[in-house]
Structure 1
Amino acid sequence: MLKTRVITALVLLAVFLPVTFFAPVGAFGALIAFVVVFAAWEWARLLKLGGAGPVVYALIAAVALVASTKLGTGVDEPRPLFQAASVFWVLVGPFVLLRKPMLAQGAWRGFLLVAGLLVFVACWHALVAARMAGVPFVLSLLLVVWLADIGAYFSGKAFGRHKLAPAISPGKTWEGALGGWVAVLAVAIAAVAVHAFEPTLYSALLERHGALRALIALTVLVIFSVVGDLFESMLKRQAGVKDSSGLLPGHGGVLDRIDALLPVLPLAMLLLG
């Protein structure tokens, strides 16, 4: 399993990094669109659409994405789209995690199918907008989620005692979440102190909001990276599956890799808008 996981990770990096560093923004956008469409397919499967439903939903997501780019004639940073996606995560995300409704039934399923289109299109636009701001910027934005996850893993292993959401994801702890937050702030402070690879998300937040508000903004992003992770964990638990799919051998599905990014991306771009 470890060998498979490593091979898959190397293949993904071999595709993602050259496109991010060297390809035009259009090629980067095409790659992210490919990822988003597969994530939409998994979203529909977790909501238990039967038959060809997940494929149809993925095609609808692709059409919605193309339509949002003015039929391919241009890409603008859609602040209202980021606002709508952020409202979903700020209001619906915590409500679902606290109340734990059955998401693949009745009105909730219909609502999440519609909301999912918004979430995925906003994710695409946020990443493209971040890439247009520069390679260091988009990587620093992704690094928030990666550091929060890595820091949470090692802190949880070393110090984890108090469960964060035992009914949804038993392995997550408050100590792990705190460790992830510390890791993000430590790297952000170090990057700003040495003026490394600017502009980054960290330098942009500092310039726009000042030191205290920038730290608060990063804290909010870390919190919602956890919300996104737990939200998908709840979808999987209710669907009775371990992974969102088997598309990525050793890693599960696309949603398993981008769940924490879904709320962080529009929120980050909104905080800088």
Structure 2
Amino acid sequence: MLKTRVITAIVLLAVLLPITLFAPVGAFAALIAVVVIFAAWEWARLLKLTGGSPVVYAVIAGMALIGSTRLGLGYKPLYQMAAIFWVLAGPFALARKPALADGAWRIFLLFAGIVTFVACWHALVAARTVGVAFVLSLLLVVWLADIGAYFAGKAFGRHKLAPSISPGKTREGALGGWLAVMIVGSAGAATLVFAPTLFSALVEHLGWAGALLSLTVLTVFSVIGDLFESLLKRQAGVKDSSGLLPGHGGVLDRIDALLPVLPIALLLLGPVAQSLG
């Protein structure tokens, strides 16, 4: 299993890093579109669509993505709709645990998924347009929250965060992830070596207190995104969203925490975000 994970990671890095760091924005946008479409396919499968329906749903997501680029109205409404979903429906579903793949919830989540994936794509492309450092700093928030939570949970984890959804996660781990984001984010905003980044933009727009509060909000929603997908998988009776990435699960397993963080981050930037989209 470890060998498979390492090989998959090397292949992914060999594809993702050069395109993210050196390719034109158009190539980056095309790569992220492929990622989003596969994630939409997995989302449909977790909602228990059968036969060719997940493929149809993925095609619809791709068409929605293409169509959204032709509206010419800016993408703030997309970010707002995605953020509303994560702020309201995400915590409600985690607290009440309704049957997400049944009835009205499934219909709602199929629609919400399209909005969420399209907003995610636009946010990443807009961030990459600003610069490599900016888009990497957005991703870094989620990576730090995840890595910090893993090591803090291993070392200090005693109290389960959501035992019925994801038994491995602890409150101590979540706190460790938050501390990692705070420390690195503060250092990044203070040094300004790679500016503009998410950290420097937040400080410039909101001041230090507002920036640290915003990073706290983003860390919380990275956990909500992770737990929401865990709830979907638990109700679907699967360990991974798919087997597309051997040793790593599916695409959705890798981007679940990004889905709420990206639109909320751009909305927190206010007028800065308007220049991104």
Q: Tell me the TM-score range normalised by the shorter chain.
A: over 0.9
1:245 pairs with 239, 242, 246, which one? 242
Cross-structure match for 1:50: 50
Distance in structure 2 (CA, Å) of the matches to 1:227 and 1:145: 11
Counterpart in the other structure of 2:11: 11
How far residue 190 of structure 1 moved from its aligned partner, in angstroms, is 1.2
CA contact (8 A) 1:83 1:270 kept: yes
Q: 1:173 aligns with which of 170, 173, 193?
A: 170
Q: Per-residue CA shift, 1:154-206, capped at 9, x if unaligned? A: 00000000000000000000000000000011101111222221110000000
1:110 aligns with 2:102: no
Question: Any idea what the Cα deviations from partners look like across 1:100-126, whole Å, max 9, x if unmatched?
Answer: 000000110011001100000000000
Work out the CA distance in 1 between the residues paired with 2:73 and 2:184: 30
Assess, with a 3 A threshold, how the Cα gap between structure 1 residues 135 and 143 changes in structure 2: closer, same or farther.
Answer: same
Equivalent residues in 2 for 1:1-273, closer than 5 Å: 1-70=1-70, 77-273=74-270
| Letter of the structure 2 residue corresponding to residue 2 of structure 1 | L
Percent identical residues? 75
* Counterpart AA for 2:67: A
- Deviating 4+ runs (over 3 angstroms): none
- Unpaired runs of 5+ residues, structure 1, are none
The one-character-per-residue Cα deviations of 1:42-64 (angstroms, maximum 9, x if unpaired) are 00000000111100000000000
Q: Give the TM-score normalised by the residue count of structure 2.
A: 0.96
Contact between 1:69 and 1:76, CA under 8 Å: does it hold in 2?
Answer: no
Task: Give the secondary-structure state (helix, strand or coil) at the position aligned to 2:241.
Answer: coil
SS in structure 2 opposite 1:117? helix
SS of 1:102's equivalent in the other structure is coil
Residue 10 of structure 1 and its aligned partner are, at CA, apart by 1.1
- Equivalenced residues, count: 270
1:249, distance to aligned residue in structure 2 (A): 0.4
Give me the whole-angstrom Cα distance separating, in 2, the residues matched to 1:220 and 1:164: 17
Residue 76 of structure 1: how far off its partner (Å): 7.1
Q: CA deviation at 1:86?
A: 0.2
- Local SS of the residue matching 1:243: coil
- Whole-Å separation in 1 of the counterparts to 2:78 and 2:154: 38
Q: Distance between the aligned counterparts of 2:36 and 2:251, measured in 1?
A: 8
RMSD, aligned CA: 1.0
One-letter amino acid matched to 1:198 = A
Structure 1 residues 77 and 197 mapped into 2: Cα distance closer, same or farther (>3 Å)?
Answer: farther
Q: Is the 8 A contact 1:142 1:261 kept in 2?
A: yes
1:77 Cα deviation (Å)? 4.6
The one-letter code of the counterpart of 1:243 is: D
SS of 1:170's equivalent?
strand
